Structure 1
């Protein structure tokens, strides 16, 4: 026993000596090590870029609002989070959110007493496995079965607990950034010393001071809660975004995201080894997002959208649009390609519910009918199938073996022959079919035989493509489609000759409204196919918000020059003039004759059918027509080009809705833009 006690004494003496040596010799060094601080750089959000219309009016801006923020320190524990959540819930209420069942469970177990109690309920056999995942699942199942009920204060605490738990270390998040009252701000401010990491800051949200009708073009921004889109998560993370950053998710907000987001402010934070923040210093104040100046005029855009809604509503009321699924209108400066107004309506025919859908102008395609005949005649002239002085063709219907007669709207025999301008004026399908057959060198014997080369579709489509029909225009908006191309050959590889003829007068392939306005602009400006665009310039908004410093201006882009001669172009323009101002009783747009300034253009109707998604194999679906009109004004020096499409109208009640819309668009434009 004496030997053992002696050994113990020696060991204790050695330990005490070592402790004394460390305390005296290295105490100050260890103390400095404990107090040593580390530094880290953190970033914060900046206001998103503002969008203006062509007159400098704010279309979409940022509305500042107070917010309760939280910055998570390195040393924050689960107990700290639970404590802060409960304290803060005494001063604020979150009413626009409700905690999920899982969030309630997490908050409930955040209390150590509850966690210990629930752990004790887990069967010993499960605890003996030492499988943390299995034990946690069992605990959560137990709590779920207990149906925990929280008070309003505890529900707020649960939401705060969830937000803080999911925050990154040294990142700042918003705990409440909407409907924050002055009383809540005051009470939180008074108790900030008891709420480590909590602060009072400023957040922003998108505002639309000139109305939200244009929002379907501008697009939307994700919420902080939604954060980065999951389908592009890796792209955003590699470009410096945080998971809860707000980004543009559609249209202009998405297309110009790299410019609109700005550059985040950065601060350097020093923390002690204990994890507490010791000092914060601003390194870079950040730069607000770039400002976009659009080509659209907010007032004109609103007038066009209102006119479209009113005229389309009258079409519904009359029964003409009973099966219609929408209407679209677009206006463009034919000399530059700048879009002046983009309006659209989507409709559910069964529920008779309509919604704004301006982007249908670029992502909806329709068979446009006779409105495309200007491109067909142009192609015939350019390829010397007809000439300005020799363009008369017989107006005899086309009889294909085994198919109904292919003719124009007017009675057979109304005209013996037509020249190109008159064919456009009276909208002759027969003229276009004969022009197509001559063009592709078809062999045709009425009622007996027709043979077309396998390249016939390619020949006509190449010509339509030259005017932008059937291919993307390149407009600076995401989601544009190129249209819909019909089949060229049957299942045996034989060319669909009858469909070639249908294509010649616009009753086969489908085009978008923006392609139609680009096409008619090309005729209006003398042959320059201009790229449409919405963003005119990019710049920076002054700190007072009253001035924009421009850094970049969009230059008009000529995509293609149509190889017309002046006399060839004059044939088409004369036809478009006579469509509105001609004297032939079969003219299709005489109701626009008295509009000032004068309009030239081309109307169209294309046969279609009502498709019922609930009965896709419906027999004998209702026959409908797509009504269209493309035009420009003034006729001799166009400043505006328009395209209007009313798809799916009753052919007996079609009326003149597209002409009414065109008239409103032209008159409203010149009323707002008097020189």
Structure 2
């Protein structure tokens, strides 16, 4: 049987198979090319900063990863010039790389030149010699915290094996000026830099900035693996702070305060100058003070505390105008309302309330109560006002709560005694509070309350940071903020006139400023101790001027002075500071 066999053509099959393999190869090459291109794009574009920083060296890498701490500045009167309060500067460690010191002769030569340069004594010279003799030691620190100017001179000696490392250091050019305002840069438990007290503490996060990071894969030898994933996030520097503090005022007012503190042998002293129209703080002094560059050398850490915000105290008679303002504003008294003083009053306390030095003043007006600082008269005013209104006004002025000043650490004071008795009748606590006993306040709260009187009845938020400058150059300027209106403008003006009389005709006569009408009130308050009040006192004077257009409100406080009454200490200091301000602000005399 015959079978006819006809083979199928194979050329077409082979051609199709070759085309398929070619297409696969092209596809694979294309994918590989795209992957390489994407990786190159990542390396050259997306991770450009990583390799730039890596190639630039350790110092640039440090600056890329570690943020620069923000700096702090104050200003001059015309605000055209700024002065640094807290800045960063490089200090250096001088070390020896003994691998570069080849023989004993070189060791002796280097030692002699270092000894002459740093003025070594024999003991120090012997120690450095022992360090230089450690053969093949690449790092022997010889001198620490050396300034750049010194390093430049040392470089000129060109000593073999002597090298330098720089590190940033917080520096305070004004030393003790505004020390409690600024605070300082200390260390936390882990040895990391952290702001303490004042601005450095309150603004820690903003000043510190945000650290960057560098992450990727390395070989066993420590080299970066080029194709492994990695990223670099650059550091964000901290903000710069520009303050409302006037450098000239701060220097002169604090100088006067310290001089007077020593004169009156007071343990502590505080002073604030505030602009009543804006709430901007122009001066804030706390004494004793300390050198910020040597903060660890203080005799007591109490020196770190800012007396103007940290230490609430019973204010005494400077609280009387606050209560009087409420009574005037409610219309329950006028400046000419009369009162007969017998020298004592029963106010439902364990003992009767008396005036200072047990005096009795007879028939008096409300102005006379302030001029003569009559305690019994203020109990009369409190009863006219009533307990509920008394509480309302004390709260309205902001007592018992923090002002929100941008400093660490602020205390709130306490007005809890006003609420101990649930009765609606005026009790012993309200009566004693009417002349500033039984409640506590900080100097900042008190000066801000007097600023209400000087500002036509408007309460402003006090602030000390005038401007924040961000790393990108953006500026955030603080705008004055009115919290509320407490007093009618007419009543604030009436009270101002009454306080002028306190200085012109009363116990505040030493606060007079020749050529000007100024208003104010003294306060002498016994300091509470175990079982009652002690013989120790706090002296306060708060005043403002010129009365027709107030430019400043000043509080002066002395803690435990040698003299008996504030009229002889704080009032006199107010006068001295006020006279300087009138000249400094170029305010023309008005009387």
1:213 aligns with 2:162: no
1:603 aligns with 2:522: yes
Please show how residues 332-411 of structure 1 align to structure 2 within 5 Å: 332-346=274-288, 359-387=306-334, 391-396=337-342, 397-399=344-346, 403-409=350-356
Counterpart for residue 469 of structure 1: 399
* Distance across 1 between alignment mates of 2:549 and 2:442: 25
Counterpart for residue 458 of structure 2: 528
CA separation of 1:661/1:244 partners in 2, compared to 1, >3 Å: closer, same or farther? same
1:414 to partner: Cα distance: 2.7
Q: Please point out which of 438, 461, 470 is paired with 1:508.
A: 438
CA separation of 1:622/1:425 partners in 2, compared to 1, >3 Å: closer, same or farther? closer
CA separation of 1:490/1:579 partners in 2, compared to 1, >3 Å: closer, same or farther? closer
Counterpart for residue 574 of structure 1: 497
* Distance across 2 between alignment mates of 1:58 and 1:659: 32
1:44 aligns with 2:65: yes
1:667 to partner: Cα distance: 2.1
Helix, strand or coil: the match of 2:493? helix
Counterpart for residue 327 of structure 1: 269
Counterpart for residue 61 of structure 1: 87
Q: Is the CA contact (8 Å cut-off) linking 2:65 and 2:234 kept in structure 1?
A: no
* Distance across 2 between alignment mates of 1:493 and 1:422: 31
* Distance across 2 between alignment mates of 1:490 and 1:267: 59
1:602 to partner: Cα distance: 1.1
* Distance across 2 between alignment mates of 1:150 and 1:527: 69
Q: Is the CA contact (8 Å cut-off) linking 1:395 and 1:415 kept in structure 2?
A: yes
* Distance across 2 between alignment mates of 1:68 and 1:251: 33
1:671 to partner: Cα distance: 3.0
Counterpart for residue 447 of structure 1: none
1:129-186 CA-partner distances (Å, limit 9, x unpaired):
xxxxxxxxxxxxxxxxxxxx999539999x99999xxxxxxxxxxx966468569879
1:189 to partner: Cα distance: 10
* Distance across 1 between alignment mates of 2:567 and 2:299: 20
Helix, strand or coil: the match of 1:668? helix
1:100-120 CA-partner distances (Å, limit 9, x unpaired):
xxxxxxxxxxxxxxxxxxxxx
Runs of 5+ in structure 1 lacking a partner? 1-36, 70-83, 94-148, 164-174, 193-198, 231-242, 441-455, 543-548
1:637 aligns with 2:561: no
Q: Is the CA contact (8 Å cut-off) linking 2:448 and 2:459 kept in structure 1?
A: yes
Counterpart for residue 40 of structure 2: none
1:565 aligns with 2:488: yes
Q: Please point out which of 537, 540, 546 is paired with 1:628.
A: 540
CA separation of 1:152/1:414 partners in 2, compared to 1, >3 Å: closer, same or farther? same
Runs of 5+ in structure 2 lacking a partner? 1-42, 55-60, 77-81, 102-106, 115-126, 290-297
Helix, strand or coil: the match of 1:274? coil
1:571-610 CA-partner distances (Å, limit 9, x unpaired):
311211111123xxxx11112334344321111112235x
CA separation of 1:302/1:274 partners in 2, compared to 1, >3 Å: closer, same or farther? same
TM-score (ref. length: structure 2): 0.70
Q: Is the CA contact (8 Å cut-off) linking 2:197 and 2:409 kept in structure 1?
A: no
Helix, strand or coil: the match of 2:353? coil
Q: Please point out which of 575, 582, 588 is paired with 1:670.
A: 582
CA separation of 1:459/1:155 partners in 2, compared to 1, >3 Å: closer, same or farther? farther
* Distance across 2 between alignment mates of 1:501 and 1:211: 45
Helix, strand or coil: the match of 1:366? coil
Q: Is the CA contact (8 Å cut-off) linking 2:270 and 2:285 kept in structure 1?
A: yes
* Distance across 1 between alignment mates of 2:545 and 2:222: 70
1:153 aligns with 2:100: no
1:205 to partner: Cα distance: 1.6
Q: Is the CA contact (8 Å cut-off) linking 1:489 and 1:495 kept in structure 2?
A: no
1:208 to partner: Cα distance: 2.4
* Distance across 2 between alignment mates of 1:156 and 1:361: 55
RMSD: 4.6
Counterpart for residue 248 of structure 1: 195
CA separation of 1:362/1:570 partners in 2, compared to 1, >3 Å: closer, same or farther? same
Counterpart for residue 410 of structure 2: 480
1:373 to partner: Cα distance: 1.1
Q: Is the CA contact (8 Å cut-off) linking 2:264 and 2:562 kept in structure 1?
A: no
Q: Is the CA contact (8 Å cut-off) linking 2:453 and 2:493 kept in structure 1?
A: no
Q: Is the CA contact (8 Å cut-off) linking 2:180 and 2:304 kept in structure 1?
A: yes
Aligned length: 490
1:631-659 CA-partner distances (Å, limit 9, x unpaired):
11111111110111123345647661101
* Distance across 2 between alignment mates of 1:352 and 1:653: 29
* Distance across 1 between alignment mates of 2:498 and 2:421: 39
1:480 to partner: Cα distance: 0.8
CA separation of 1:160/1:419 partners in 2, compared to 1, >3 Å: closer, same or farther? farther
Of stretches 372-381 and 663-672 in structure 1, the one that deviates more from structure 2 is: 663-672
Q: Is the CA contact (8 Å cut-off) linking 1:579 and 1:588 kept in structure 2?
A: yes
Q: Is the CA contact (8 Å cut-off) linking 2:457 and 2:489 kept in structure 1?
A: no
* Distance across 1 between alignment mates of 2:493 and 2:153: 73
Q: Is the CA contact (8 Å cut-off) linking 1:185 and 1:200 kept in structure 2?
A: no
* Distance across 2 between alignment mates of 1:155 and 1:497: 82
TM-score (ref. length: structure 1): 0.62
Counterpart for residue 301 of structure 1: 250
CA separation of 1:581/1:400 partners in 2, compared to 1, >3 Å: closer, same or farther? closer
Q: Is the CA contact (8 Å cut-off) linking 1:420 and 1:571 kept in structure 2?
A: no
1:371 to partner: Cα distance: 0.7
Q: Is the CA contact (8 Å cut-off) linking 2:526 and 2:534 kept in structure 1?
A: no
Q: Is the CA contact (8 Å cut-off) linking 2:72 and 2:86 kept in structure 1?
A: yes
